[in-house]
Amino acid sequence: MIIARYITSEVIRPFLTIVVVIGVVFLSYSTALVLNDVVAGLLPAEVVAQFVLIKGLIALEVLIPVALYLGAIAGLGRMQADSELTALAAGGVGEPRVLKIVFALSLVVALAVAVLSLYVRPWAYQQSYLLRAIAESEFEIEDLESNRFFVSPDLGFAIFADDVDPLQRKAYGVLFQIRREQDLRIIAADELHQPAQAFDDPLSVYFMRGHAYQLDRAGSEDISLKFERLTLHRRLPAVEDLGYKSKTQSTMSLSRSNNRKDLAEFQWRLSTPIATVLLAMLAVPMSRSPPRQGRHGRTIVALVVYAVFYNLLSMAKNLVQEGVVGAVPGLWWPLVLFSLILAAMLVGPTLHRRWRRR
């Protein structure tokens, strides 16, 4: 029990360190990308933190398995370099026992990854798409320029103004157009006023002295009116407005779908906890090395192995999405391939020793 706790702690320490380091690097990179969208006017500045945190939640299902894999290699590699594993083996705690300890730890981590993949992932993608849809439907008077058309990112509406006063949040000589499937709405007004509002408030705009037209696309129910004051309220996009996206669907609904994109997403969610256990187990034979061998070489090899594994898994997902591969072998063949490699690495030294004895 003491030995199991010691080996577990030797793996958990570098694992947590790597999670923090990779997480900080990823969040910094994500922040830079989101800020680029803010500068380009695609996102408001107040949603940067929300967007970055959501992206971080989505990435955890990938970051945690690789962190456990590298943490196991670092921890066991350190014990190997200091001859601690050799001493344990001489005391009856050989590689099979170490493998069981790492396997038990990987099951706990895989459970957390399963929760992230099966439940948190669809929610996070849903919030990400919803935030972007709200941002694309938003309008700020500061976005307007005199004698220039402004078209919303979602192409839902367009505005033209002869003159703009951002400080008063007003525009003059305004032409406003809303495109919908059933009709086209046009508002021509002397003045437009938009009160200050929060990001998640519905769009509210006031038009003063003008005419409004609703043109029926079927051509039978056109409406026109003259107004002194017209208030336009545009509701924010809701989840049901996002359309069907595989990444936002619940795992249960994906399991009942015959769509190939749904199948790829469903198998990806199931594969992440399995990959967590497989990578942690793979770290045990990969941590073997002579005591005097440098640790950097082992880390480089581990990174190359993980890159190959992750790229194969991503390629398998794309093949399922495109219909090139069916549910079987689906995304499972990279996992089976690396399971066979793991078995060969574990059994290989024993078979080699028996062959030499013969």
Residue 147, by phi and psi: left (phi above 0), alpha (psi -120 to 50) or beta?
left
pLDDT of residue 88: 75
Using the predicted structure, report yes or no on whether residue 18 has a pLDDT greater than 90. Answer: yes
Q: Dump pLDDT digits (tens) for 238-288.
A: 777 778 888 999 999 999 888 999 999 999 999 999 999 999 999 888 887
Confidence tier at 20 by pLDDT (50, 70, 90): very high
**One-letter amino acid for residue 195 of the chain:** P
Task: With a cut of 60, say whether residue 15 has pLDDT above it.
Answer: yes
Q: What is the pLDDT of residue 42?
A: 66
Res 236 pLDDT > 60: yes
Q: What integer is the mean pLDDT of 48-70?
A: 91
The terminus-to-terminus CA distance of the chain in angstroms comes to: 37
Please give the average per-residue pLDDT across 342-346, as a whole number: 86
Lowest mean pLDDT among 72-76, 216-220, 245-249: 216-220
The residue that leads in pLDDT, 41 or 34, is 34
Q: How far apart are CA 90 and CA 86, in angstroms?
A: 6
Q: Give the predicted TM-score (pTM) of the model.
A: 0.80
**pLDDT tens per residue, range 276-328:** 999 999 988 888 765 555 556 677 888 899 999 999 999 999 999 988 888 88
What gap in Å lies between CA 76 and CA 12, rounded to an integer? 11
Instruction: Round the average pLDDT of the chain to a whole number and report it.
Output: 84
The reported pLDDT for the residue numbered 357 is 63
The pLDDT of residue 337 is above 90:
yes
Q: DSSP per residue over 306-347, as a string?
A: HHHHHHHHHHHHHHHHTTSS-TTTTTHHHHHHHHHHHHHHHH
Q: Which residue has the higher pLDDT, 85 or 114?
A: 114
Per-position DSSP letters for 98-145, written without gaps between them: HHHHHHHHHHHHHHHHHHIIIIIHHHHHHHHHHHHHHHHH---GGG--
pLDDT at residue 46, rounded to an integer: 72
Indicate the pLDDT class of residue 355, thresholds 50, 70 and 90. Answer: low
Is-contact 247 99, C-beta < 8 A?
A: no
What gap in Å lies between CA 5 and CA 251, rounded to an integer? 35
Reported as a single tens digit per residue, the pLDDT across 94-141 is 778 888 999 999 999 999 999 999 999 999 999 888 888 777 767 777
Torsion of CA 240, 246, 252, 257, to 10 degrees: 110
| pLDDT band at 352; cut points 50, 70, 90 | low
> Looking at per-residue confidence, does 252 or 233 come out higher?
252
Q: Is the pLDDT of residue 163 over 70?
A: yes
Task: Measure CA 105 to chain center.
Answer: 25
> What was the pLDDT predicted at 40?
66
Given a cut of 70, is residue 57 above it in pLDDT?
A: yes
Q: Of all residues in the chain, what percent carry a pLDDT higher than 70? A: 90
| 146-150 mean pLDDT | 85
Phi, psi of 45 (to 5 degrees): -65, -30
What does the angle CA 135 – CA 43 – CA 31 come to, to the nearest 5 degrees?
A: 135
d(CA 342, CA 72): 15
